[in-house]
Amino acid sequence: MTGVDHPGSVEPNGVIGILGGGQLGRMLAMAAARLGLRTHVYCPDEYFPAADVAAAKTNASYTDENALATFAASVDVITYEFENVPVETVAFLLSVGACVRPGAMALEMAQDRLVEKEFVGGLGAATALFHAVNDLASLDAGLKKVGRPAILKTRRLGYDGKGQTRLTEADIDLHGAFEKAIEFAWAEVGAAPSILEGFVPFEREISIIGARGAEGDIRLYDPTENVHANGILKTSSVPAAVSEATAEIAGAVAANILNALDYVGVVGVEFFVLPGGAIVINEFAPRVHNSGHWTLDGCAVSQFEQHIRAVAGWPLGDPARHSDAVMENLIGDDVHAWRSMSEQKNACLHLYGKRDARAGRKMGHVTRLR
Ligand code: AMP
């Protein structure tokens, strides 16, 4: 393609490498294809949802240096759809000259809940009270600091409510003694290095999907209001029932994170909103985010296209919302209602091509436009 030279930018017909092949990788690949870009997806699983829509795929582990080097040589830029890609994998890709966006720093910060809390706290964002837990004694000390109820979460590898357990007065009654209850909670997280968080008495949960381009420009989508069931996102709605002031503060926190990490790509930042409108950050994901799926149907440029634009070094698109929307995740058996949902007016159905509708598995989503 001809035009003004933009160093570091991937031209149409170029190839975006994606680490991870789940539904997020699938929707990234579809967005890339719309822009005339090809994708090469690298995934350790034998079958993966992005495989159906990618131009090329590599099925190998994140530690296979030969496969990683071949992958790096076949693409113009590499991104990830999954925050638990090992940091060593990204370091290896960088060592063979690959451009990886967002970089390794974002992964390092997001993979460890304790490091993440200290990082966002350092940027001036309010967090829940927290305490590092490495054994029963530090769990006991943590409960004195953060109070009860509290939530014990593994520092690494937790998602969708996994690797976490609550500690309430009712649990203590159930176990007949405080000591027994904390032993049970510690066993629940597999006695792994953990973080204890004070329970935030939130009124609602929101998230901000933000993007930062290769030249440092930032675009934010409207805050999304999220409802979880059993630790898994159930619905995301826009507009969120928050004041402009709350939305602005949340947007500023997201922008601070993007700038501090010299980030290129889309980030999802989750917040608790307290009665009165003050916000407490819960966590951020260095990738496109489930609570941003509504942007596929509610905006001219979705979070997936925005991420591809950013990592390809293109100008970012307009994040303005053209419709009010409610996105509902189709989890496990929910997906069997696909036929009736496909008949509903203003319902945009997205299925991820997964074979088995196992309990708790995200099989698709439907966004209803208002
Ligand atoms: P997480 O895996 O940290 O995103 O937690 C999943 C969900 O659990 C959150 O979206 C909240 O609904 C709830 N949760 C997590 N941490 C806290 C907390 N410190 N206080 C209250 N609710 C929490």
Atom of ligand 1 nearest to the CA of 228: 12
CA 107 to chain centre: 11
Query: What mean pLDDT, rounded, does the chain reach?
Result: 95
CA of 114 to the centre of ligand 1 (A): 14
Q: Mean pLDDT across the stretch 182-196?
A: 93
Within a domain: 361: yes
Determine which residue's CA is closest to atom 9 belonging to ligand 1. Answer: 231
- In a shared domain, residues 69 and 176: no
Query: Does 1 score more than 70 pLDDT?
Result: no
- Identify the CATH number of the domain in which residue 315 sits: 3.30.470.20
**Best substitution site from 143, 236, 273, 282 to test ligand 1's pocket, by max atoms within 8 Å of Cβ?**
282
Ranked by mean pLDDT, the top range of 86-100, 157-171, 178-192 is 86-100
Contacts 24+ apart (CB under 8 A), 353-356: 353/26, 353/49, 353/52, 354/23, 354/49, 355/47
Range of the domain at 24: 15-100
- Nearest-angstrom CA–CA distance, 61 and 316: 32
The DSSP secondary structure of 128-184, one letter per residue, reads --EEEESSHHHHHHHHHHH-SSEEEEESSS--TTTTEEEE-HHHHHHHSSHHHHHHH
Q: Check if 128 has its Cβ closer than 6 Å to any atom of ligand 1.
A: yes
Q: Check if 200 has its Cβ closer than 6 Å to any atom of ligand 1.
A: yes
- Identify the CATH number of the domain in which residue 76 sits: 3.40.50.20
- In a shared domain, residues 176 and 295: no
- In a shared domain, residues 248 and 279: yes
- In a shared domain, residues 251 and 359: yes
CA of 282 to the centre of ligand 1 (A): 7
Within a domain: 2: no
pLDDT in tens, 299-344: 999 999 999 999 999 999 999 999 999 999 999 999 999 999 999 9
Within a domain: 279: yes
Which of 174, 198, 222 is a domain's end point? 198
pLDDT in tens, 343-354: 999 999 999 999
Atom of ligand 1 nearest to the CA of 202: 21
Count of the separate structural domains present in the chain: 3
CA of 205 to the centre of ligand 1 (A): 9
Which of 167, 198, 229 is a domain's end point? 198
Q: Check if 166 has its Cβ closer than 6 Å to any atom of ligand 1.
A: no
Atom of ligand 1 nearest to the CA of 113: 3
- Identify the CATH number of the domain in which residue 137 sits: 3.30.1490.20
- Nearest-angstrom CA–CA distance, 39 and 16: 5
Within a domain: 292: yes
- In a shared domain, residues 328 and 253: yes
- In a shared domain, residues 298 and 173: no
Helix, strand, coil distribution of the chain in percent, nearest 5:
35, 25, 40
- In a shared domain, residues 225 and 361: yes
Of 58-67, 137-146, 153-162, 288-297, least confident by mean pLDDT is 153-162
- In a shared domain, residues 219 and 193: no
Within a domain: 109: no
**Best substitution site from 151, 189, 230, 234 to test ligand 1's pocket, by max atoms within 8 Å of Cβ?**
151
Within a domain: 148: yes
Instruction: Tell me the HSE value of 304 on the side-chain side, using a 13 A CA sphere.
Output: 24
Within a domain: 121: no
* Amino acid identity for residue 102 in this structure: P
The DSSP secondary structure of 49-88, one letter per residue, reads GGGGT-SEEE---TT-HHHHHHHHHT-SEEEES-TTS-HH
pLDDT of residue 5: 65
CA of 31 to the centre of ligand 1 (A): 30
Banded model confidence at residue 234, pLDDT cuts 50, 70, 90: very high
- Nearest-angstrom CA–CA distance, 140 and 363: 40
pTM of structure:
0.95
Query: Does 2 score more than 50 pLDDT?
Result: no
CA of 20 to the centre of ligand 1 (A): 25
- Nearest-angstrom CA–CA distance, 320 and 295: 9
Within a domain: 5: no
Which of 100, 117, 151 is a domain's end point? 100
Atom of ligand 1 nearest to the CA of 197: 19
Query: Does 206 score more than 80 pLDDT?
Result: yes
Q: Check if 283 has its Cβ closer than 6 Å to any atom of ligand 1.
A: yes
| Rg of the chain over all Cα atoms, to the nearest angstrom | 21
Closest-CA residue to 242 (of 216, 272, 263, 265): 272
Q: Check if 83 has its Cβ closer than 6 Å to any atom of ligand 1.
A: no
- In a shared domain, residues 242 and 93: no
- In a shared domain, residues 273 and 307: yes
- In a shared domain, residues 191 and 214: no
**CA 15 → CA 64, 84, 304, distances in Å?**
21, 23, 16
Q: Check if 151 has its Cβ closer than 6 Å to any atom of ligand 1.
A: yes
34: three-class secondary structure by DSSP? helix
pLDDT of residue 197: 97
Closest-CA residue to 144 (of 178, 95, 94, 113): 178
- In a shared domain, residues 242 and 173: no
Closest-CA residue to 10 (of 317, 312, 316): 312
Do 366 and 327 touch, CB atoms closer than 8 A?
A: yes
